[in-house]
Amino acid sequence: MADPQQTIRQTVTENDVVLFMKGTKSMPQCGFSSRVAGVLNFMGVEFRDVNVLADEGIRQGIKDFSDWPTIPQLYVKGEFVGGCDIVTEMTLSGELDQLLDQKGVAYDKAAADKIREANA
């Protein structure tokens, strides 16, 4: 059996954007995971989803890896961004756009603007 820390490190290194979540991007299993996956999907961000419910080692391992107690957890270019509340705030403030721009990750700017307009 693979070491969860090694598996997590490899996953965040080999993928530009990774969301450790409950469920999958097409079938989230909790509201918080659904919100973050929904934002990324709506903005057209290509991301790797990791279903922590499928592997208890990964479920606990990601909490240890990031020293963050909750799931979902978003990583961009190997950097831990945050959970649902942080990603929501970053989306509404435009900070997520800035981060994606800085890291060279493609997304739909018009869709990001629509999210902000709808929540203004």
| Residue ranges per structural domain of the chain | 4-118
Task: Report helix, strand or coil for 75.
Answer: strand
Tens digit of pLDDT at every position of the chain (120 positions)? 579 999 999 999 999 999 999 999 999 999 999 999 999 999 999 999 999 999 999 999 999 999 999 999 999 999 999 999 999 999 999 999 999 999 999 999 999 999 999 998
Closest CA to 40 of 89, 118, 120, 112: 112
What's 4-118's CATH class?
alpha beta
Residue 91 pLDDT = 97
Tracing tokens 């945050």 back to the chain, one arrives at 82
Is the distance from CB of 61 to CB of 4 less than 8 angstroms?
Answer: yes
Closest CA to 57 of 119, 116, 4: 4
| pTM attached to this predicted model | 0.96
Tracing tokens 């603007």 back to the chain, one arrives at 113
Residue 67 pLDDT = 96
